[in-house]
């Protein structure tokens, strides 16, 4: 079985999360229906979401840290992320 996969419900799954190698990436251009696009920086440790902003990393809403510092800080400085999706079967909240 692969360690990283997208399951049949389109969830990103990490097998043996506590033993997985660390990784980080950006989610560009997230916005609501009439919102201003924002970027976000996440890692697969702690609370996941490390920083976000509307222009670039020099104009972050929450302080931007490079990956090597973010891995250490995310459990104390990160924040929980909730996403609400509305579809044909009603609203679903993902944490």
Q: What is the pLDDT of residues 23-76, one digit of tens each?
A: 777 776 767 677 777 788 777 766 677 788 887 778 888 888 888 888 787 777
* DSSP secondary structure letter of residue 63: -
- Write down the pLDDT at residue 84: 81
| C-alpha distances in Å from residue 16, one per residue of 8, 21, 76 | 19, 10, 22
Containing H/E element for 76?
helix 67-77
Sign of CA dihedral 64, 65, 67, 70: negative
pTM score of the predicted model: 0.52
Containing H/E element for 47?
none
Tokens of 94: 């993902």
Helical spans, DSSP H, in the chain: 67-77
- Write down the pLDDT at residue 51: 82
């Amino acid at each position: 079985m692969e360690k990283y996969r997208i399951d049949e419900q389109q969830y990103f799954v990490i097998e043996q999360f506590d033993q997985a190698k660390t990784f980080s990436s950006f989610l560009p251009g997230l916005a609501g229906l009439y919102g201003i696009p924002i970027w976000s920086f996440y890692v697969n440790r702690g609370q996941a979401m490390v920083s976000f902003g509307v222009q670039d990393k020099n104009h972050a809403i929450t302080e931007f840290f490079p990956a090597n510092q973010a891995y250490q800080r995310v459990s104390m400085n990160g924040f929980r992320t909730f996403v609400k999706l509305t579809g044909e079967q009603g609203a679903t909240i993902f944490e």
